[in-house]
Amino acid sequence: MRLIFAGTPEAAVPSLRVLAASDHDIATVVTRPDAPLGRKRVITPSPVGAAAEDLGLPVLKTARLDDAATAQLAALHAELGVIVAYGGLVREPLLSTPAHGWINLHFSLLPRWRGAAPVQHALIAGDEETGASVFQLVTELDAGDVYDERRYAVSSRATAADVLFDLAGLGAELLRDVVAGIEDGTAVAAPQAGVATFAPKLSEADGAIDWERSAEAISGRIRGVTPEPGAHTTVGGIRLKLLDAHLPDGSVSLRPGEIAARGRDILIGTATQAIAVSRVQPSGKQAMAAGDWWRGVRSGEARAGT
């Protein structure tokens, strides 16, 4: 089939490469415009844009699928639109322009976690299982009929980055199979069943840690916001990023926010058992081992969250 592929982040690149390696013809790749990255603010193409150029595919860079973009894409006479985390809405008449409409690879088991940050919210909520779904795109947010899904068991130490990396590969294979099924007429989509939950984009405030909560809830939040927007607390009035944290072997009881050294790690108390933190980044400094940072803190009475 003749396809349009729309995507932007690294998580969409495996899907683009899988479809590019198939017998399908990718008429163009739609991605968001180049953006400044890093401390030097170097103008850089999106991961999907860079991959498309590497594959020798035509690229349309646009922040919005407006009338001009719609006219440009309609002129391609594509049979199917494929979207993986593009970062913009597909509205009518573009939604109905390809003969088979648009399908979307989404990183959750729909209808759970519709929205922009499904993996992050799954970890914050403590879900032990998530997955990837391919559904027919409709005007309502992530509400279309589902063609197929793949389930994924969440490791107790996996961060959002870890899970998204795995789901990107798993989802690419799922997407390839669904596109093949649409081509040969065997793919059948079924309405979503169950209670919908929603996963809005996270803000910096979502990374703030409340040490009065349970260790399990705090661990899930830290893993869910890693690497973006990042987990953080304050110690002695100074902001501290928590880069690597987990539930330690054996239960250690500390008061909420109380900090104790354990080798190159530190333990921080919660409402239940302590959390082990391996790496931190104090404001204005480089990342370092948490134990090394703690030994340099002047006040031994400093507590997290203060």
Q: What is the dihedral of CA 16, 21, 24, 27, to 10 degrees?
A: 50
In angstroms and rounded to an integer, the radius of gyration of the C-alpha atoms of the chain is: 22
The total of other beta-carbon atoms located within 10 Å of residue 300's CB is: 8
Backbone angles phi, psi at 21, to 5 degrees: -85, -5
Mean pLDDT to the nearest integer, 280-286: 94
Tally the residues of the chain. 306
Residues 156 and 46 in one domain: yes
Residues 231 and 174 in one domain: no
137 and 217 in a single domain? The answer is no
Range 263-275 burial, b when 16+ CB lie within 10 A, else e = eebbbbbbebbbb
Show the tokens assigned to 114.
């519709």
**How confident is the model over 21-49, as a mean pLDDT?**
93
DSSP letter at 36 equals E
Same domain, 161 and 58: yes
* Total tally of structural domains belonging to the chain: 2
Question: Which domain does 213 fall in, by range?
Answer: 204-295
Q: What is the pLDDT of residues 71-111, one digit of tens each?
A: 999 999 999 999 999 999 999 999 999 999 999 999 999 99
Other CB atoms within 10 A of residue 191 CB: 10
Query: In terms of domains, do 172 and 278 share one?
Result: no
Structural contact between residues 59 and 53, judged by C-beta atoms closer than 8 angstroms: yes
Tell me, yes or no, whether 37 and 168 share the same domain: yes
| CA 211 vs CA 54, 63, 136, 186, 297: distances in Å | 46, 39, 41, 51, 19
Q: Distance of CA 194 to CAs 42, 89, 143, Å?
A: 45, 24, 12
Which of 184, 218, 233 delimits the end of a domain? 184
Do residues 163 and 213 both lie within one domain?
no
Dihedrals phi, psi of 205, to nearest 5 degrees:
-65, -25
Same domain, 265 and 152: no
Give a yes or no: residue 121 inside a domain. yes
CATH number for the domain spanning 276: value is 3.10.25.10
Q: What CATH number has the domain bearing residue 97?
A: 3.40.50.170
Whether the CB-CB separation of 120 and 202 falls below 8 Å is answered with yes
Query: Domain for residue 32, yes or no?
Result: yes
The answer as to whether 85 is a domain residue is yes
Select the more confidently predicted residue: 39 or 4: 4
Question: What is the C-alpha to C-alpha distance for residues 102 and 43, in angstroms, rounded to an integer?
Answer: 30
Phi, psi of 40 (to 5 degrees): -85, 0
Please report the sign of the dihedral spanned by the C-alpha atoms of residue 221, residue 227, residue 229, residue 230: positive
User: Considering the chain, what is the average pLDDT of its residues?
Assistant: 95
In this structure, the answer to whether residues 61 and 172 fall within a common structural domain is yes
The confidence band for 33, taking pLDDT boundaries of 50, 70 and 90, is very high
Residue 53 CB partners (closer than 8 Å, separation 6+): 45, 59
Specify if 189 maps to a domain.
Answer: no
pLDDT tens readout for residues 134-168: 999 999 999 999 999 999 999 999 999 999 999 99
Share of the chain above pLDDT 90, in %: 89
Q: Is 177 in the same domain as 228?
A: no
The string of DSSP letters for 210-227 reads: -TTS-HHHHHHHHHHTTT
Same domain, 161 and 268: no
pLDDT exceeds cutoff 70 at 298 = no
Residue type, 284: G
Same structural domain, 96 and 58: yes
